[in-house]
Structure 1
Amino acid sequence: MNGLRLGSAAPAGNASRDAAEHREISSAVAKFLLAGVLAFVLVAIPVAFWIRAAAEQHALNNARDQTQGLADHVIAPLITDQLLAREPAALELLDKRLEPWLAGGGVARIKVWDAQGRVVYSDAESLIGQLFEHEEWARLLLEGGPATVSLATQDEAENEFEAHSGELVEVYARSVAQSGAPMIFEAYFDGQQVRREQEAVLMGMIPPMLLSLSVLQLAQLIPAVRLARRIQVHQAARNDLLRCVIEASDLERRRIATELHDEVIQVLSGLAYSLESEERRGPPAQRAVFANARMLLQDNVRALRAMTSELYPADLEELGMKASLLRLETPLLERGIALTVDIPDKLVLDRDRAALVYRVAREALLNASKHSSAQSVGIRIQQLSQRTQITVEDDGLGFSPNTAPPEGHFGLKILRDTIHQAGGVLAIRSAPGAGTSVTATFDAGMPSFR
């Protein structure tokens, strides 16, 4: 049988279809889970950054509020005329009041500025009395603006003691001397405390967020599996309907072919023999008429027999694929078209795939013989792993695939729809003057349609 092996065991076919359906559902679920993981990542990463930024801002706001409270309740009552005059006793008193804040490690540096930009107090004694130019933000703060806070390395001229301390939280708050003069209170906090608080908030938020997203993903997985199974059931029902349609079509084609062969062709063949007899025995003047009628009738009988062969294809299991395809050569030879067939030595196809391959070849050869004006046509069947591909190429006139199909070309369109419904792919490539190539691809897991 030319290496063609056809599967016929129903249990094996059912097992193959069940395995294919299981793979389809598993693939759909895997794709759903992958999409969920991608969505999970796309949601979790921005949320994590948002939580991190919010935690940082929360820590900075705490530092700002703490500094403002220190400025209002500790610093302001001690900004006396004596402190402004830099009397040692006033400076020493403020040192003692601020010592718990500085010694506890929460505050790294403290400065008090007047409206002119002069440092009237600092825990770094060498800074007291130095004058620095105020920027616009200082003027706004002195006029009653809100406290400002930032987290950065300090590299300004007035930061000689903080330049090598890494990231520091710098807070500027407004204070008022006992005389009523507006003052600026500046405090530096260790930036590592902010980072630790930031990480603590982040670590506290991430687990419940991940748990919530995971629960949501799992909650969606069960409906997704049910939906995949429901789609599979509808797909199976559609395939069953398609199988019934194809079987009904084949049955009707066989019935018509049988009636043509057993009745019409037999009657016409008998009539042809009768005409031949009259041609031999009849009057000489009538012989030419009988001869023309007989030849016309015989041509019609041959056409009907060719039509019968097309309606009722060869038995693939009995003849084999190559022999069945070679039987399609007769219409081509009548038009002077050469046919070549290239088939693997071991071609493994079940009945459904074999029937589809034969249908593609038959329809493509029929179109080539009627419409292409080709000199040669080639059939090539390739099989790789679970995939089978048949290509029919001719060197004929070709046509433009973008235009409406010419008269008589609807067979390929119907075949394309049938193959698509059965899970295969049919590709037609052609161009005016460049011939036509028809390629059909089938997977072993595609649904049965016969």
Structure 2
Amino acid sequence: MAKIRHRRDARDRGWLRDRGGAADSSEVRSAVLRFLAIGVITLGAVLIPVYAWIHGQAEHRALAEAILRTHQLADFTVGPLLDRDVLAGDASAISRVDAGLRPWMADGSLVRVKIWSGDGKILYSDSADLIGDTYPLPAWSPDLLSGGREHAWLGQPNGLDTVNEAAAGELVEINVRATDAAGWPVIFEAYFDDEAVQDAQSRLMLDVLPVLVVSLVVLQLAQLIPAIGLARRIQAGQTSRRRLVQHAIVASDFERRRIARELHDEVIQDLAGLSYALEAEERHGANERRALTGQARGILLRNLRTLRAITTELYPPDLERLGLNEALRRLLDHVADTGIVVHSELSPDVPSDKDRIAVLYRVAREALANVVKHSRASVVDLVITGDAVTTSLSIRDNGRGFDPAAAAPGGHLGLRIMRDTVQMTEGSLSITSAVGEGTTVLVRIRRA
């Protein structure tokens, strides 16, 4: 007799209540929520770059307007007043320029004005303390003085000549080419409040974003209705499939019981009667036929034992009466009778739902039958574990294994059928194997 060991591992866990039919509606609800979540993420993924684009476009437009305004100021207001007296620092001449700028600066949008010579000297500024100071010019200054492109920038002033402007926060800095009264090129620098940029951004946002958001929301809602319908159809298909599998299992059990009854009541009884007749013939028959009669009786008795074992497999035990652990112990006893060493960890804290108990028993029976018939294993381990959510059954052998990617060997068809049975109880069944490394069957089902 092979060695068999049962190690009991009791666990006190709480069980989840099986929602039954409510699980189907929960699947639809989950699918709809996932669709809505994806829609929100998509909406955000679209709006973020659109917002960045609007922000950039508004800034570009505001800077273009500021450049145009600066040109008007330099060409028509200040430029004609830049005569020799202003360049010489005459106070009355500078006052005339101040008077010309005063209407532009009255509303606060124009913060500062500076006029630079080509050598970095401030020829004029509305801040009189800067007039006559010299600072290094930026690298783009020569190109601007020779008729190049204007320079526009939005940010916090941080140059040596911008100490007075730094307290104003972010400003729009515009540099354009101008000419003094004598026609000499100078750099006209103007600082504007950034409110114009913010206003342009706000206007563009109000023009574009509401239409875009409404369009995307309508699109998502238009897709939601068919998505719900599709989820319901998929759920209905899954429900129908589970019912078909359940009916197939019930029909299979019924047919197993019918065949077992017919074998027991007809064939086994007739063969048992024949064995008695052969025994009588062996005892009282002619001496020359006793050896042959005994041999025939031995073959008949072996076949009777085989048929009784088949009948036992066909007619499963009363699981509600025995309990899952006891039923599994009987299965393991039959495996141990074949010479395979059996190790087990059985927990008394197993599912109470009869359907789930039946599923675990069927998988164990099928897997252990495959171990005996096909695996050529010397050791098999059966372990039941559980937590508050799931119950797991693991059956692992050290047999020859097989390649899961190749066609499944004979006997594994039953496990493929059992996969559907397990899924019917919101569970999963996996078969892990490799040639020469044994096979592991793992089933997980939700607690009832």
TM-score (norm 1): 0.81
Q: Deviations over 1:407-438 (max 9, x none)?
A: 54425643453345534212345678886543
Q: Secondary structure at the match of 1:159?
A: helix
Alpha-carbon deviation of 1:366? 1.8
**One of 394, 398, 401 as aligned partner of 1:399:** 401
For residue 428 of structure 2, what is the aligned residue in structure 1? 425
Matches of 1:153 and 1:323, distance apart in 2: 81
Q: Deviations over 1:184-204 (max 9, x none)?
A: 211112345544654565577
Q: Deviations over 1:56-104 (max 9, x none)?
A: 3332222222112212222233334554455555433222111112233
Alignment of 1:220-259 (within 5 A): 220-259=223-262
For residue 165 of structure 2, what is the aligned residue in structure 1? 162
Q: Secondary structure at the match of 1:104?
A: coil
Aligned-pair Cα RMSD in Å: 3.5
1:344 matched to 2:348: yes
2:24–2:239 Cα contact (<8 Å) kept: no
The residue type equivalent to 2:38 in the other structure is A
Matches of 1:173 and 1:199, distance apart in 2: 27
For residue 277 of structure 1, what is the aligned residue in structure 2? 280
CA, structure 1 residues 110+333, in 2 after alignment: closer, same or farther (shift >3 Å)?
closer
Q: Deviations over 1:275-317 (max 9, x none)?
A: 2222112222221111111111111121122122222323334
2:422–2:443 Cα contact (<8 Å) kept: no
1:322–1:341 Cα contact (<8 Å) kept: no
Q: Secondary structure at the match of 2:165?
A: coil
For residue 335 of structure 1, what is the aligned residue in structure 2? 338
Matches of 1:255 and 1:354, distance apart in 2: 22
Q: Secondary structure at the match of 2:186?
A: strand
The residue type equivalent to 2:131 in the other structure is I
CA, structure 1 residues 377+53, in 2 after alignment: closer, same or farther (shift >3 Å)?
same
Alpha-carbon deviation of 1:385? 4.1
1:112–1:121 Cα contact (<8 Å) kept: yes
The residue type equivalent to 1:311 in the other structure is L
2:124–2:131 Cα contact (<8 Å) kept: yes
The residue type equivalent to 2:245 in the other structure is L
Structure 2 residues without counterparts, runs of 5 or longer: 1-16
Matches of 2:229 and 2:409, distance apart in 1: 46
Comparing 214-223 with 100-109, greater Cα deviation is found at 214-223
**One of 274, 286, 289 as aligned partner of 1:286:** 289
Q: Secondary structure at the match of 2:164?
A: coil
For residue 123 of structure 1, what is the aligned residue in structure 2? 126
Alignment of 1:302-341 (within 5 A): 302-329=305-332, 331-337=334-340
Matches of 2:183 and 2:337, distance apart in 1: 117
2:246–2:421 Cα contact (<8 Å) kept: no
Matches of 2:217 and 2:46, distance apart in 1: 12
CA, structure 1 residues 407+174, in 2 after alignment: closer, same or farther (shift >3 Å)?
closer
1:440 matched to 2:446: no
Q: Deviations over 1:391-410 (max 9, x none)?
A: 3355x546366675885442
Number of equivalences: 430
Q: Secondary structure at the match of 1:348?
A: coil
The residue type equivalent to 1:301 in the other structure is L
The residue type equivalent to 1:112 in the other structure is I
**One of 81, 99, 103 as aligned partner of 1:100:** 103
The residue type equivalent to 2:239 in the other structure is A
Q: Deviations over 1:112-160 (max 9, x none)?
A: 2344444332222343344445444222222222321112333334334
For residue 182 of structure 1, what is the aligned residue in structure 2? 185
Alignment of 1:26-175 (within 5 A): 26-175=29-178
The residue type equivalent to 1:293 in the other structure is A
2:79–2:180 Cα contact (<8 Å) kept: yes
Alpha-carbon deviation of 1:252? 4.2
Alignment of 1:366-377 (within 5 A): 366-371=369-374
Q: Secondary structure at the match of 1:427?
A: strand
Q: Secondary structure at the match of 1:35?
A: helix
CA, structure 1 residues 164+383, in 2 after alignment: closer, same or farther (shift >3 Å)?
closer
Matches of 2:430 and 2:56, distance apart in 1: 55
Matches of 2:341 and 2:131, distance apart in 1: 107
The residue type equivalent to 1:274 in the other structure is A
1:108–1:190 Cα contact (<8 Å) kept: yes
TM-score (norm 2): 0.81
2:115–2:187 Cα contact (<8 Å) kept: yes
Matches of 1:357 and 1:412, distance apart in 2: 14
Matches of 2:135 and 2:326, distance apart in 1: 102
Does 1 or 2 have the higher relative contact order (CA < 8 Å, sep 6+)?
2
1:331–1:369 Cα contact (<8 Å) kept: no
Q: Deviations over 1:301-338 (max 9, x none)?
A: 21122122222323334554344434435533432456
Comparing 416-425 with 429-438, greater Cα deviation is found at 429-438
1:344–1:381 Cα contact (<8 Å) kept: no
1:416–1:425 Cα contact (<8 Å) kept: no
The residue type equivalent to 2:348 in the other structure is P
CA, structure 1 residues 443+371, in 2 after alignment: closer, same or farther (shift >3 Å)?
same
Q: Deviations over 1:216-240 (max 9, x none)?
A: 4434333322221111111122223
1:68–1:147 Cα contact (<8 Å) kept: no
Alpha-carbon deviation of 1:348? 0.8
CA, structure 1 residues 161+148, in 2 after alignment: closer, same or farther (shift >3 Å)?
same
The residue type equivalent to 1:109 in the other structure is R
The residue type equivalent to 2:54 in the other structure is I
Alpha-carbon deviation of 1:341? 6.9
Matches of 1:127 and 1:324, distance apart in 2: 100
Matches of 1:383 and 1:128, distance apart in 2: 86
1:167–1:192 Cα contact (<8 Å) kept: no
Q: Percent identity?
A: 42
For residue 5 of structure 2, what is the aligned residue in structure 1? none
